[in-house]
Amino acid sequence: MSAPLDKLTIEGFKSIRKLEDFELRALNVLIGANGAGKSNFVQFFRLLRELIERRLQLAVQTAGGADACLYLGPKVTTTLVAKLCSGAFGYRFTLVPTADNRLVFADEEVLENGAWIPYGSGQAEAKITETNSLAALAFLHHAASGWVAYHFHDTSDTAGVRRQGQINDHEYLRADGGNLAAFLRRISLTNPTDYARIRDVVRLAAPFFNDFKLHPVPWNPDMIQLEWRQKGSDYPLRASQLSDGTLRFICLATALLQPERPPTMLFDEPELGLHPYALALLASLFQQAAEQSGTHATRQVIVSTQSAPLVSEFAPEDIIVVERTRGESVFRRLESTQLAGWLEDYTLGQLWEKNVLGGGPRNERMPLPSDGDRGANPTREKDESSAGDERS
């Protein structure tokens, strides 16, 4: 499976009780209130990556055990089910909790040539890795290298991105950007055109920035540390002399403009510390990185955000509203036709702030409003609201 996912089913994972055959497109921007379940969606992909790498038990225990992974705990949810589809290929499994707080496979199957092929039951780690199926092997390669959840929040003084690292740690950009210097150096040597694009985009977000200085540490050539120069000076500056927001933007630009982008890239709240102009640049990078060929995505970007200005840069069909009701996360993709009247006067971000889109703080014990209550006919609601303003 060389293409990203077309549809995804998740049942029983954290706040996601049931998300069935949900369509994933080239660009998917999740919005919602704190605790709605956006990050749980991203965390599910992290769990998938560990499952495919045969590190399921380590990932589950690190996350707090099976109890912490199941929707409302094992007394309410007895299975965690997932199904992943891409074209004619599919992979599905069911995990069940054990008495010692682990998750093991109740079943594991691969869809190939129109038939589901079982891979066993009772195993602690995925058996798909033992397959001889070419389609399954393609899926494994895609999954192992293709689902990357980037998280560049840690830019503290002790973060790897600010410290020296191994110069040969350059095969791929790590999810936390800890090997940024080594990775940028490799790109500058092997793909100078892509390196120039990264540098130029960083210049747009940080006009004082001139270029990176990517050389081995003189007294230890096996190590490298991120250095840079500002315009009008040849004095080398260190990563410690970059603001948190600038350093995060450099990591984001590098991830989105790298020569061989992963098929599916996930970003959890990438707007942290970024200026509004940098957010507009970032949105453009997301749109460029999410490639579409006909009706199928060839590259896929999934973003979880709390930023209304960032949301304003996208089309309604890019936006997935996540709301939580009675402890359950519910996912809904927007449609332009339902928002045409509003978008004449407001941006998507403004509509989110006005709670026209949903996805705002709410009493989760109450059921979600119907489409009519929420604005399925927003043109009518906007006109009535305006008329009320005139009468008053």
Question: What are the structure tokens assigned to 74, written together?
Answer: 């094992």
**Sign of CA pseudo-dihedral 230, 235, 240, 241:** negative
Report DSSP state, residue 368.
P
Tell me how many degrees the CA angle 370-376-382 measures, rounded to the nearest 5.
120
Average pLDDT over residues 364-377: 54
Q: How confident is the model at residue 371 (pLDDT cuts 50, 70, 90)?
A: low
Average pLDDT over residues 90-117: 92
By the 10 Å C-beta count (0-12 exposed, 13-18 middle, 19+ buried), 293 is classed as exposed
Question: What are the structure tokens assigned to 168, written together?
Answer: 């040969």
Residue 174 has pLDDT above 70, yes or no: yes
Cα separation, 266 vs 39, in Å, equals 10
Residue 23 has pLDDT above 50, yes or no: yes
Residue-level pLDDT at 388: 41
Tell me how many degrees the CA angle 60-65-68 measures, rounded to the nearest 5.
105
Q: Is residue 176 within a helix (H) or strand (E), and if so which, with residue range?
A: none
Residue-level pLDDT at 326: 85
Average pLDDT over residues 110-120: 86
Q: How confident is the model at residue 380 (pLDDT cuts 50, 70, 90)?
A: very low
Residue-level pLDDT at 264: 87
Residue-level pLDDT at 1: 41
Residue 332 has pLDDT above 50, yes or no: yes
Tell me how many degrees the CA angle 183-180-202 measures, rounded to the nearest 5.
100
Average pLDDT over residues 258-279: 93
Strands (E), 243-315: 264-268, 292-293, 296-297, 300-305
* Most confident region among 132-136, 177-181, 230-234 by mean pLDDT: 177-181
Report domain extents, the chain. 7-152+248-391
Residue-level pLDDT at 379: 42
Higher local confidence (pLDDT), 252 or 110:
252
Residue-level pLDDT at 128: 82
Q: How confident is the model at residue 117 (pLDDT cuts 50, 70, 90)?
A: confident
Average pLDDT over residues 84-113: 90
Residue-level pLDDT at 6: 86
Residue-level pLDDT at 140: 65
Cα separation, 160 vs 181, in Å, equals 10
Task: Give Rg (Cα) of the chain.
Answer: 23
Three-state DSSP class for 216?
A: strand
**Sign of CA pseudo-dihedral 351, 352, 358, 364:** negative
Q: How confident is the model at residue 62 (pLDDT cuts 50, 70, 90)?
A: very high
Residue-level pLDDT at 348: 96
Residue 328 has pLDDT above 70, yes or no: yes
Q: Which CATH architecture has domain 7-152+248-391?
A: 3-Layer(aba) Sandwich (3.40)
Residue 199 has pLDDT above 60, yes or no: yes
Lowest average pLDDT, out of 47-56, 247-256, 339-348, goes to 47-56
pLDDT, the chain, mean: 88
To the nearest whole percent, how much of the chain has pLDDT over 90? 71
Q: How confident is the model at residue 368 (pLDDT cuts 50, 70, 90)?
A: low
Q: Is residue 199 within a helix (H) or strand (E), and if so which, with residue range?
A: helix 192-205
Report DSSP state, residue 101.
S
Residue-level pLDDT at 104: 97
Question: What are the structure tokens assigned to 223, written together?
Answer: 């190590």
Q: What angle, rounded to 10 degrees, do the helices at 180-190 and 244-257 form?
A: 40
Residue-level pLDDT at 49: 87
Residue 110 has pLDDT above 90, yes or no: no
- C-beta of residue 163 within 8 angstroms of C-beta of residue 147: no
Three-state DSSP class for 284?
A: helix
Average pLDDT over residues 1-16: 84
Residue 392 has pLDDT above 50, yes or no: no
Cα separation, 363 vs 176, in Å, equals 34
Question: What are the structure tokens assigned to 283, written together?
Answer: 């949105």
Higher local confidence (pLDDT), 53 or 61:
61
Report DSSP state, residue 30.
E
Q: Indicate yes or no: pTM above 0.75.
A: yes
